[in-house]
């Protein structure tokens, strides 16, 4: 409350009741946080009851002035009504559902009978957010269960691994941590558009299409004062390895407290997690999505071309096409009045800096419906995302004499098991059917044709020899077998040379070195399958693996007659045992809880420099705890630490553990925290 000795003596912004009705009390109840298109109340102690009007100043500097009308249906769309009683004035203020989001300063202006200003008094300030509960807001989402997940849930799951070995990593979004809303608007204020023309930018923030597109550019730091700098080469010595992060809040706070200095480093899941936090905080329903076997098609021809030598060395082609083991982006829910009817709903937004869009490293919003229908002319960036889920994978062998042979054409490899967390729990929801028609269906072929897919490539499905790769679940630190199966269905014996190579790779396809290889000449009887085993021992791969724990096995089969060369490859993620996280004590706000974290070294080598990183929205801020000494093979190490939860409700404590030779070991514990008055 503020006091004044003039006509206006006291102001009550009624933060507690307003914030609860506007679904923002989880952030704060001591300052005003509102959603547009929904009224709020404030009370004034006055002597005597005056004639007054209200004025809003929008933006950090307050240069944009908006007059609040005293009647509905006129002016800016903002209006208020007043009720007086004795020495109190109750004001109900209505914001339009298309008001710009941002920081507002509210001023009361006291008028005399001739409408001359007697007094001007600041009443306070508030942040205005998008309102998915309001039917007239462009981000309106009618299902309450979805609002609970896509706006109000502060924790979630990010999907990693591979299409046939999907793993879920808990992520702490923390969008209701007290300072996050200020950081979100700081990000918008640091955008090039806001720096060039703050007033125009402030008004354009009424549009979730504009705001979300700005944010996909600002979450990465490639063009501007953005938040996260990406790095994929494995050298993170001047920052934090992307796998160390378990949540968005430490990243956002580091960026803000560092004066908008980029945070080092992130990869796709980090970019998507941070973007999800910012968009949910601003009131735009958002979910994180993972696309498995995701294509990075640099020239837009809907094919990814990979080149190999006869010895299976990867060769640079004329472009930098790649297949990522998985790629993460976000979907946000909004209407698209800027497009023809039919494109409202979920929109892809990809903050990972891959290709420029209109000169800037950003992507989207791109309607999921447009991707499925192959409507590549629709804004924004449909051709790029369409390729990510639909491109052909074509592999070539370049021979010593300069010839090249197409050895593989895979039409159904890209865009598998597109995944997000379910609204009904911690199960995985498959979104693939929203992005593409069933593989091989008539509608799929129709859409490809509409999107301009190149159909001139020769099909390789009728090769005389067939090649496949199988493996059991591989565990990091152990030896395991990869089974390469060669089948000869041709009806006559064949002779061929088989080369098998195992490479350590990053999740986005960067080669880190060969682990092991095998080469053998085969006689293949008709209608018989031959199995060749490649045994991978820890000493083959242990010192080559990236923090993604991924091995790519490629097999090349060359018939002696030189025709119908076949190539097949698969990615093998090595599983890492999880940390054990136990909580002791009664989970009550402001009462001490003790966590015990246990790690068992699964590798046949001694680990050094162990560090546990712990965080949890509503539980504790991020902190690092060193593991003292060396950890021998099979040795167990435990640490204990205490913390006091500061918010009630379902919570997760997230833990990461890194050492010199083993990284990205995760664990978590769930807890329901009771309020102090329960």
3-state secondary structure (DSSP) of residue 467: strand
Report the distance separating Cα 202 and Cα 63, nearest Å.
10
| Active-site residue, 327 included | yes
Residue 271 phi, psi (nearest 5): -60, -45
Bridge partners (DSSP) of residue 252 are none
Gyration radius (Cα) of the chain, Å = 29
- The distance from CA 216 to its chain's CA centroid, rounded to whole angstroms, is 10
The DSSP code sequence of 221-253 is -SSSS-SEEE--SS--TTS--GGG--BSHHHHH
Bridge partners (DSSP) of residue 519 are 499
**What sign for the dihedral angle of Cα 330, 336, 338, 340?**
positive
What is the 8-class DSSP label of residue 101? P
The DSSP code sequence of 629-651 is S-B-TT-EEEEEEEE---S-EEE
The token pair that represents 69 in the structure block? 């009308």
Report the distance separating Cα 288 and Cα 293, nearest Å.
17
Q: Which of 327, 476, 516, 548 is catalytic?
A: 327
Helix orientation angle between 268-282 and 249-257, rounded to the nearest 10 degrees: 80
CB 203 within 8 A of CB 100: yes
Compute the residue count for the chain: 678
CB 71 within 8 A of CB 19: no
Strands (E), 18-115: 32-35, 40-46, 51-58, 64-68, 79-85, 88-94, 102-111
CB 59 within 8 A of CB 166: no
Q: Which of 189, 201, 321, 350 is catalytic?
A: 350
Report the distance separating Cα 502 and Cα 538, nearest Å.
13
CB 575 within 8 A of CB 471: no
The DSSP code sequence of 572-589 is EEPB-PPPEEEEES--BT
CB 286 within 8 A of CB 423: no
Report the distance separating Cα 560 and Cα 613, nearest Å.
55
Residue 178 phi, psi (nearest 5): -55, -40
3-state secondary structure (DSSP) of residue 27: coil
Look at the block and give the residue holding tokens 């976000």: 330
| Active-site residue, 268 included | yes
| Active-site residue, 350 included | yes
3-state secondary structure (DSSP) of residue 219: helix
CB 78 within 8 A of CB 69: yes
What is the 8-class DSSP label of residue 149? I
Q: Which of 184, 268, 288, 515 is catalytic?
A: 268
CB 289 within 8 A of CB 298: no
Look at strands 665-673 and 649-658 and give their pairing. antiparallel
- Catalytic residues, by residue number, are 268, 327, 350
């Amino acid at each position: 409350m503020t006091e004044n000795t003039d006509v206006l003596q006291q102001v009550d912004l009624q933060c507690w009741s307003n914030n609860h009705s506007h679904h923002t009390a989880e952030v704060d109840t001591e300052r005003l946080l509102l959603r547009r298109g929904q009224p709020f109340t404030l009370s004034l102690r006055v002597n005597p009851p005056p004639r007054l009007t209200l004025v809003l100043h929008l933006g950090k500097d307050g240069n944009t002035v908006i007059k609040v009308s005293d009647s509905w249906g006129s002016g800016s769309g903002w209006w208020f009504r007043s009720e007086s009683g004795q020495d109190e004035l109750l004001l109900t203020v209505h914001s339009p559902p298309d008001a710009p989001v941002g920081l507002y300063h509210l001023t009361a202006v006291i008028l005399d009978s001739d409408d001359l200003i007697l007094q001007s008094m600041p009443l306070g300030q508030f942040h205005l957010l998008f309102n998915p509960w309001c039917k007239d807001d462009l981000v309106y989402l009618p299902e309450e269960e979805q609002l609970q997940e896509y706006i109000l849930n502060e924790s979630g799951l990010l999907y990693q691994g591979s299409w046939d070995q999907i793993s879920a990593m808990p992520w702490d979004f923390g969008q209701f941590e007290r300072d996050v809303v200020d950081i979100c608007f700081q990000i918008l204020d640091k955008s090039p558009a806001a720096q060039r023309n703050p007033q125009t930018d402030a008004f354009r923030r009424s549009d979730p299409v504009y705001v979300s597109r700005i944010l996909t550019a600002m979450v990465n730091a490639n063009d501007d004062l953005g938040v996260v700098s990406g790095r994929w080469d494995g050298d993170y010595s001047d920052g934090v390895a992307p796998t160390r992060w378990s949540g968005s809040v430490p990243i956002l706070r580091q960026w803000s407290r560092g004066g908008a200095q980029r945070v080092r480093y992130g990869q796709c899941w980090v970019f998507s997690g941070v973007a999800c936090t910012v968009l949910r905080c601003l009131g735009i329903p958002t979910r994180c999505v993972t696309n498995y076997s995701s294509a990075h098609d640099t020239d837009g021809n809907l094919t990814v071309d990979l080149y190999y030598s006869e010895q299976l060395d990867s060769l640079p082609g004329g472009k930098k096409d790649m297949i990522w083991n998985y790629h993460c982006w976000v979907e946000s829910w909004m209407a698209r009045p800027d497009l023809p009817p039919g494109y409202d709903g979920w929109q892809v937004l990809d903050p990972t800096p891959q290709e420029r869009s209109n000169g800037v490293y950003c992507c989207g919003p791109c309607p999921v419906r447009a991707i499925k229908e192959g409507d590549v002319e629709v804004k924004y960036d449909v051709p790029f995302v369409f390729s990510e889920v639909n491109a052909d994978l074509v592999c070539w062998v370049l021979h010593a004499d300069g010839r090249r042979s197409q050895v593989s054409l895979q039409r159904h490899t890209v865009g598998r098991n597109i995944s997000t967390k379910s609204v009904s729990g911690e199960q995985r929801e498959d979104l693939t059917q929203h992005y593409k028609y069933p593989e091989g269906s008539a509608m799929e072929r129709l859409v490809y044709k509409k999107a301009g897919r190149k159909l001139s490539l020769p099909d390789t499905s009728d090769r005389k020899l067939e090649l496949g790769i199988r493996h059991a679940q591989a565990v990091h630190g152990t030896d395991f077998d990869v089974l390469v199966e060669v089948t000869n269905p041709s009806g006559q014996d064949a002779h061929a040379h088989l080369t098998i190579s195992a490479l350590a790779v990053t999740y986005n396809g960067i080669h880190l070195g060969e682990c092991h290889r095998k080469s053998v000449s085969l006689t293949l009887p008709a209608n018989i399958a031959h199995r060749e085993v490649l045994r991978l021992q820890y000493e083959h791969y242990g010192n080559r693996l990236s923090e993604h724990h991924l091995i790519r096995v490629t097999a090349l089969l060359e018939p002696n007659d030189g025709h119908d060369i076949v190539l097949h490859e698969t990615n093998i993620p090595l599983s890492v045992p999880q940390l054990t996280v136990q909580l002791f004590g009664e989970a009550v706000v402001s009462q001490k809880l003790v966590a015990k974290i246990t790690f068992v070294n699964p590798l046949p080598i001694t680990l050094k420099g162990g560090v546990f990183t712990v965080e949890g929205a509503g539980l504790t801020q991020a902190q690092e705890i060193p593991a003292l000494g060396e950890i021998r093979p099979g040795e167990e190490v435990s640490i204990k630490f205490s913390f006091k939860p500061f918010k009630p409700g379902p919570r997760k404590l997230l833990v990461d553990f890194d050492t010199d030779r083993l990284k990205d070991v995760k664990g978590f514990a769930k807890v329901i925290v009771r309020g102090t008055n329960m």
